[in-house]
Structure 1
Amino acid sequence: MLILLVLAGVITLAVMGGEQFMHGHMLPALVAGACVAAFLVAAPIAWWLGDLFRRFAMPSLVFGSGAMDLAGQRLFWMVGPQSLGVGLAFIACVGVARAFEGTNLASAAAQAATPALSATTVAAASATDGGPSASAADLQATSAGAASEGVASVAEFPPEPNPQQYPPRRFAGPVVTPDFSDHSKPWTAFRSRITAAVQAGSNFAGDAAIAEFGCGTNCMRGYIINLQTGQVIDLPKEGEDFYNLTYRYDVGSTLLRTQWESQPDQAQTTCYRAYFQWTGSSFLEADKRSAPGACPEG
């Protein structure tokens, strides 16, 4: 019985490590391998402790309401406590392995580099206040070293398209409310958010209202509503595929900017921007660009 439990646990942990390795996550794969070794050691110890508890707590006589009940109780007192001990050891190993899922060596290096950056900031402040001075070359070298260890710099972009070159559409009303009766349309599930955006009035392109909201951690989505027709369509970029997604728009322009970053499991952080022109019924891509580093705010 112990051999079967250990074999099942080792296979499960090995599969977890293999999946992480196939996705390029070396650190979780190494942790899963270490958990396999730890489980091979911990499982016999847990079985032994469970057997000690079984001998101490097992009743002298077992009574049951029938043959099946009696057989179940006898089976439990034969291997139940030992199996529970091995199960707890397995759960602990799986918990450790799952705690590292999705992380990579670059993110771990970034966390290790954070104290170095803090020390650099303190040193610079000390020099400004008259304390021990540090040369600009030394500070740049320290920052460059931290960046090489995985700390993403801020992405730099050329000048953005001029929103004034995309004038708003004229609209004097009345506002047409979207028709929520057709429940086959996914956006009808967000009636309260869309209705609130319509009631607030145009916040984009002169005749449109944008309703944006979160869909999870670092996830954004939204809809645009044509206030003249009541048409509702998805924003051009949305969902979990666009990490740290933000929208920038204005009532005085038909230009919408979307900005997002590469997924955190990538070795290098990249910022992406895509610009779209609202035609009144759809979006046309006006420009797109990318730059290495974290996305700037604003």
Structure 2
Amino acid sequence: MLKPALTDFFHYLQVERGLSDNTLKSYKRDLSKYLNYIEKVLQKTTWNEVVRSDIIGFLYTLKDDGNSAATIARTISSIRLFHRFLISEQMVNQDASLHIETPKKERKLPDILSTQDVEGLLAIRGNSPLQIRNKAMLELLYATGLRVTELISLKVSDLHLTMGFVRCFGKGSKERIVPLGDVAKEAVDNYLQYGRGILLKNGIEETLFVNQHGRALTRQGFWKILKSIAKDAGIKKRITPHTLRHSFATHLLENGADLRSVQEMLGHSDISTTQIYTHVSKTRLKDVYKSYHPRA
């Protein structure tokens, strides 16, 4: 019988491994399909009958059904863990999931803005404290390539406007120093002089960017602000809090910056993460060529 072993496995995941309901649902979804294939298609009655080629056949059906490489990779992980469980419980003599290769995940190119779109996004007019703050936030984000979490965590003490840099703490609390251009410096200085104090309403807050109540801005709050500004600027393409970071890196590389410097500014521990932006650059270059070369 096949199903009782699977029930025991799910019980093991829930009780002994303490997995969350969502993770458990993911395992159940993957392995229910696997069970159905072994039981209905191959008509096998024990897990001891299952061999490596059976698993490969099942994975091919997933691919034929249009499942992504990421989904197939996740399913392989589920199957591997299940077969290790069968071995540990002495329900089978050998692990049929050994030496099954995980497909490489398709690396989706990040969404970026053109320089014209960036100009439109940053063209925030008005002298209200919130408009001054929004201008400073977006100029700083595009000038430094900070993650949004890093931006909203910045303290006033992290700014070194005279020296032209900002200090931030990235993943794993890793500190890095990022240069700051003149336009961003001016926008942030303007916010410190004419925006932040009014928003604070005599309150005390270490965080650089605050909301209309004088409290630290949240990620969700920033996201709402960005969507509103993008809409007002007439930007139709998809935009997320990470879009300016992607655009910062791509535009630097397009204008001749070296990969190592961009890696350092972004705070990537592995340069292969930064290399995705070279692919974006090449793709954009091809698009420009096709659009403007008379014989493209």
TM-score grouping bracket, smaller chain normalisation: under 0.3
Greater share of residues in strand: 1
Greater share of residues in helix: 2
Larger Rg: 1
**Higher relative contact order structure (alpha carbons within 8 Å, sequence separation ≥ 6):** 2
